Amino acid sequence: MSKVQGGMKCVKYLLFVFNFIFWLSGSVVLAVGLWLRFDPATANLLAENDAPEHFFIAVYILIGAGGVMMLVGFFGCFGAVRESQCLLGSFFACLLVIFGAEVAAGVFGLLNKEKIISDVQNYYESTLENENGTAIASMYHKVLECCGTESSRPPHLCNEDSPEMYCIKAIEDFFNEKLFIIGYVGIGIAGIMIIGMIFSMVLCCAIRNSREVI
């Protein structure tokens, strides 16, 4: 009996520490999401009403996951301290739902990666053809330190002092970097949640076994 209780206390404290780390991870995820959304460079490139929105969809999913992680981490800590099977079961269910959402977001990002980049590239090219798009094209040139495309370097936008890099390549590099950040954060979250689900089930079983012994 004492061994069961000792083991349960050990798992209980491990789960509490895990949930505290999970809560902190949610804070980091939320901060990364907000940074990606309000990063001046990204916001300026996609600020117009007709700009592609697929990138921000992935960012909004990240922000939502971070907020939910903070909430779930808090209730997970409370459930571990109270040794409540109901709260721990709810914690497990929430982790499972978030895990499913993360997988769905990862698949969405993977399937739409090329489309996101292609849409932004097409949007930039359309600004070069539009006389009213000079301000937008100039913003791309300033943020990405590029100018024009292989087939078009408008003289009123690109001159001898302009960067030699073409903006199509610069856009691809820029958004690949941002999407990789989202991907790495998502993988990290998934690993943490799997550990949390294991701990919560082990503690639930330990609580049930200890009560049966009593």
* CA dist., res. 183 & res. 188, Å (int): 9
**pLDDT the model gives residue 115:** 84
Residues whose CB is less than 8 angstroms from the CB of residue 201 and which lie 6 or more positions away in sequence, other chains included? 92
Task: Place 198 in a pLDDT band, splitting at 50, 70 and 90.
Answer: confident
Task: Give the start-end residues of each E strand in the chain.
Answer: none
Least confident of 16-20, 23-27, 48-52, 78-82: 48-52
Q: What tens digit of pLDDT does each residue of 64-75 get?
A: 878 887 887 777
* CA dist., res. 101 & res. 212, Å (int): 36
Q: Which residue has the higher pLDDT, 212 or 105?
A: 105
Task: Place 22 in a pLDDT band, splitting at 50, 70 and 90.
Answer: confident
**pLDDT the model gives residue 3:** 54
Domain map (residue ranges) of the chain: 2-213
**pLDDT the model gives residue 214:** 47
Task: Place 1 in a pLDDT band, splitting at 50, 70 and 90.
Answer: very low
**pLDDT the model gives residue 164:** 83
Task: Place 49 in a pLDDT band, splitting at 50, 70 and 90.
Answer: low
Check residue 145 and give left, alpha or beta (phi > 0: left; psi -120 to 50: alpha).
Answer: left
Tokens standing for 60? 């909004």
Mean pLDDT of the chain: 76
Q: Is the pLDDT of residue 13 over 80?
A: no
Residues whose CB is less than 8 angstroms from the CB of residue 3 and which lie 6 or more positions away in sequence, other chains included? none
**pLDDT the model gives residue 5:** 59
Q: Tell me what percent of the residues of the chain surpass a pLDDT of 90.
A: 1
Q: What tens digit of pLDDT does each residue of 150-174 get?
A: 887 888 788 878 888 889 999 899 8
- 3-class SS of residue 189: helix
Predicted TM-score (pTM) of this structure: 0.66
